[in-house]
Structure 1
Amino acid sequence: MWKPDRSIKQPIYQQITDYMEHRISFGEFPPGSVLPSERKLADLLGVNRSTIVQAYEELRASGLVESAKGSGTRVSMHKWGITPKQTPNWKQYAEGGTFLPNLPFIRRIREELRNRESIIDFASGELSPDLFPNAIIRDLLQNKPFQEHLGYEDPQGFSPLRSSLVSFLEQHLHIHATDSSILITSGSQQSLFLITQCLLSPGDAVAIEDPSYCYSLPMFQSAGLRLFRLPVDEHGINPEDILTLYRRHRIRMIFVNPNFQNPTGSTLTLERRVRLLEIASELGVPIVEDDPFTLTALDGNPPPTLKSLDTTGNVLYIGSLSKIAASGLRIGWLIAPQAVVSRLTDARQQMDFGLSSIPQWVATQFIEEGHFENQIIKLREALLEKRNEMIRGLQQLIQENVSFTPPQGGLNMWCKINGSVDDFKLLDEAIKKGVIFVPGSVYGSDHGYIRLCFARPQLDEIMPGLNLLKEALQLPCLVRSSRIPAAFT
């Protein structure tokens, strides 16, 4: 994000004027588009609001922008001979299309994280930078000769990587796969996207957990799917609920995250796993098992995956390196019958001709040389320490405000706020205090739940972050309201 340079003689307001004029002239703010409010731009650039007022006055004087009471400041439609007839209505285009934007909560959280480096981050569902294997990846790139071609890679994925995954998944998760049954993707979300776009049709009914990470992904609605919820308790979903949904809606696919579920942290019991597989087999309905967290089992004993128990070929299995090793490598995998892999590979080729060979080669070396196993061991130790620190902080600082069940794996703590609290106001007040989290309603739950990621902040940030959250929870303005504040729309 650009910031004005206070070390030069040019006035700050003039630097901002020139910066905004540059963005307008290059089409970043097309004619007719609304500029950020004075207060918001002041916050983003770290200046007084009066400085922005002065900069906008300069832009108005030059005819670049126009202001109207109640509608903010807009780029002029008539500067430099531009007329409405010659200019596309970019706002209309941006609001069109079939692929829906992220939820307002998600957009607000990401915007704050981009613009405020100092905020304590309980929202991002990934590891802190010190838990990434940066030194190992750097050594691999420096010391191992890369001799692969740099043309388009096999759209199904780098063959040596698929072979490495076959061995790794067999050894550590007891999942039986073959090279031809694995599709390499750019992460779990691409796997889900390919499934929703290629294996289902608009109007199809699917079952997802409630609450569920899937609920926060507009890709399901973008695909025209009808979502029906499977309530999650401390033992996961109740498989009998699937029979009810099938009778009423003829569901065509079931999406579950059985181990250390996101966001609740619950683990499906063995009895329920067996029954879930029985029901899916009886109905002929496939199960999509999204499994980012099994290997994070804090006691070192990962619970079985559905895929490892599946004897009838009903489970499509999704995994990735993103949550447990290196999200920046963008390496995920999907295990499915060969007909499905072929269909999704064809779609993948149409999208991007396959992943780059370089990160796939790095991931192959990372697995084959035993670094992935060592990463998991170190990660469990670090996550256990962070989880325990969060438990200690919740118990010491805000136990009277929240209740929770400590997860046995994963990256997140699911907390219920005691009393009636407005999610929107609580997030807004927490951001002002300097801490950020994800409200539970993002995942489809009722109001009054929050997800706190203990993996993302540094260990010494957890207690201060919880203290700031405590301050936000104690404010008297958090009574629940049905109105969404403008900041979240």
Structure 2
Amino acid sequence: MWRPDRADKTPLYQQIVDHIERRISYAELPPGSALPSERKLAEQLGVNRSTVIQAYEELRASGLVESIVGSGTRVSRTKWGIAPSHTPNWRQYTEGGTFLPNLPLMRRIREATSNNSSIINLASGELSSDLFPNDIVHSLLREQNFNEHLGYDDPQGFHPLRKSLVSSLKQYNGIHTTESSILITSGSQQSLYLITQCLLSPGDAVAVEDPSYCYSLPMFQSAGLRIFRLPVHHDGIEPDDMIRLYRQHRIRMVFLNPNYQNPTGAILSESKRKRLLEAAALLRIPIVEDDPFSLTAFSGAVPPPLKAMDTDGIVLYIGSLSKIAASGLRIGWMIAPQSVIGRLSDARQQMDFGLSIIPQWVAEQLLASGRFDDHIARLRRALDQRQEIMVQSLSDILQNKVAFSPPQGGLNIWCKINRPVDDSKLLEESIRRGVVFVPGSVYGSEPGFIRFSYAKPRLEDIPAGIAAFNQALGMM
């Protein structure tokens, strides 16, 4: 995001005026475009509100913007003598299409954290940069020569990476598969997108956990799917609930996160796993298993995925390096029957002709090296320490204001606030105090639940973030 240069001799308000003028002249801000409120723009640019007020007054005086009570400040419908009919109605275009925008609360969280290093981020599910295997990757890049073809690769993914994944999935997760049954994707979300777009049709009924990360993804609504809930208990969903939904709505697919479920941290019990697989096989319902957190198990005892127990080929297994190595590599994978892999590979080729060979090569080198074990061990220790600090902070600072049960892995703690609150107001009050979290309603939960993530912030910021949240809660 652009910010005024305080070292420049040009007054700050004039720099803002010049910047907005340029954006208007370049048609980045077409006629009628809404500008941020004075308070919001001041926060974004790190200036006093009076500076923004002065800039907006200058723009109004020049006729470039107009302010209407109740409608805020907008780019004038007629600018530089050009009639608005000469410009496409971009607002109409952006409000069209079939792919829905992010949920408002998610957009607010992104807005608050974008280019704002001072805010304590307890919302992001991303690892902090010091938890990435940077040293290992740097060593591999120095030691190994990159000699791979730089043209379009196999749309199914870099074959050496798929081969390394066969070994890694067997070693760490107990999953037996082959290279031909693996599709490399740009993270887990691309896998979910391909499934919703290629294997399901508008109007199909699907079951997701309640609460669930899937609720935060508008891609399910964009695909026109009917979503039904499977309540998550301390030991995961009830298989009988899935059977009931099938009988009532003929659900065609089930989306689950059985290990360290996001956001609750629950682990589906072994007895339920067996019953679930038996019932799904009998009803011929595919299960999509999203498994981003298994390897974070603090004790090293990785809960076996459903896919490791799947003898009927009903589980589509999704994994990625985002939560256990580096999100920026954008490396994910899906294990599925070869007919499904073929269908999704074809769709993937239409979308982007396959993932870049370079991150796939780096990922393959990382997995094939003997140093990935060391990285996972270090990551587990670090996450365990961070969770311990957050648990202590929640107990000491919030005390009986919230209830929670920390999981033995994953990146999050799911909390229930022990009194009624308004999610949106609590989030705004927290942002004003310099901390951000994810309200439970984003995941389909009733108001009064929140997800705190401990993987992103610095150790010393965790207690400060909980203290700031406590102050915000006190204002409710």
With normalisation by structure 1, the TM-score equals 0.96
Q: Secondary structure at the match of 2:399?
A: coil
Q: Secondary structure at the match of 2:460?
A: helix
Task: Report the alpha carbon displacement of residue 437 of structure 1 after superposing the two structures with TM.
Answer: 0.4
1:213-240 Cα offsets, whole Å, 9 max, x none, are 0111000000000000000010000000
Spell out the pairing of 1:28-427 with structure 2 (5 A cutoff). Answer: 28-427=28-427
Amino acid at match of 2:119: I
Asked if the contact 1:423/1:439 (under 8 Å) is kept, the reply is yes
CA distance in 2, matches of 1:52, 1:428: 21
1:87-125 Cα offsets, whole Å, 9 max, x none, are 111111111100000000100001111042111111000
CA distance in 2, matches of 1:239, 1:130: 40
Of 52-61 and 314-323, deviating more is 52-61
Of 459-468 and 282-291, deviating more is 459-468
Task: Report the alpha carbon displacement of residue 67 of structure 1 after superposing the two structures with TM.
Answer: 2.2
CA distance in 1, matches of 2:313, 2:133: 34
- Structure 1 runs (4+) deviating above 3 angstroms are none
1:154-200 Cα offsets, whole Å, 9 max, x none, are 11000000000001111111101101000000000000000000000
Amino acid at match of 2:399: Q
Gaps of 5+ in 2: none
Asked if the contact 1:245/1:251 (under 8 Å) is kept, the reply is yes
Amino acid at match of 2:239: P
- Counterpart in the other structure of 1:466: 466
Of 153-162 and 21-30, deviating more is 21-30
CA distance in 1, matches of 2:79, 2:40: 25
Task: Report the alpha carbon displacement of residue 212 of structure 1 after superposing the two structures with TM.
Answer: 0.3
Q: Secondary structure at the match of 1:78?
A: coil
CA distance in 2, matches of 1:399, 1:325: 33
Amino acid at match of 1:286: P
Q: Secondary structure at the match of 1:399?
A: helix
Task: Report the alpha carbon displacement of residue 39 of structure 1 after superposing the two structures with TM.
Answer: 1.7
Task: Report the alpha carbon displacement of residue 84 of structure 1 after superposing the two structures with TM.
Answer: 2.4
Task: Report the alpha carbon displacement of residue 128 of structure 1 after superposing the two structures with TM.
Answer: 1.1
Asked if the contact 1:401/1:473 (under 8 Å) is kept, the reply is no
- Counterpart in the other structure of 1:484: none
Asked if the contact 1:316/1:334 (under 8 Å) is kept, the reply is yes
Asked if the contact 1:41/1:52 (under 8 Å) is kept, the reply is yes
Of 179-188 and 461-470, deviating more is 461-470
RMSD: 1.0
CA distance in 2, matches of 1:141, 1:107: 36
- Counterpart in the other structure of 1:483: none
How many residues are aligned here?
A: 476
Spell out the pairing of 1:474-485 with structure 2 (5 A cutoff). Answer: 474-475=474-475, 478=476
Spell out the pairing of 1:432-471 with structure 2 (5 A cutoff). Answer: 432-471=432-471
Amino acid at match of 1:87: T
Gaps of 5+ in 1: 479-489
Task: Report the alpha carbon displacement of residue 211 of structure 1 after superposing the two structures with TM.
Answer: 0.2
Asked if the contact 1:258/1:289 (under 8 Å) is kept, the reply is yes
CA distance in 2, matches of 1:7, 1:115: 19
Work out the percentage of aligned pairs sharing the same amino acid: 67
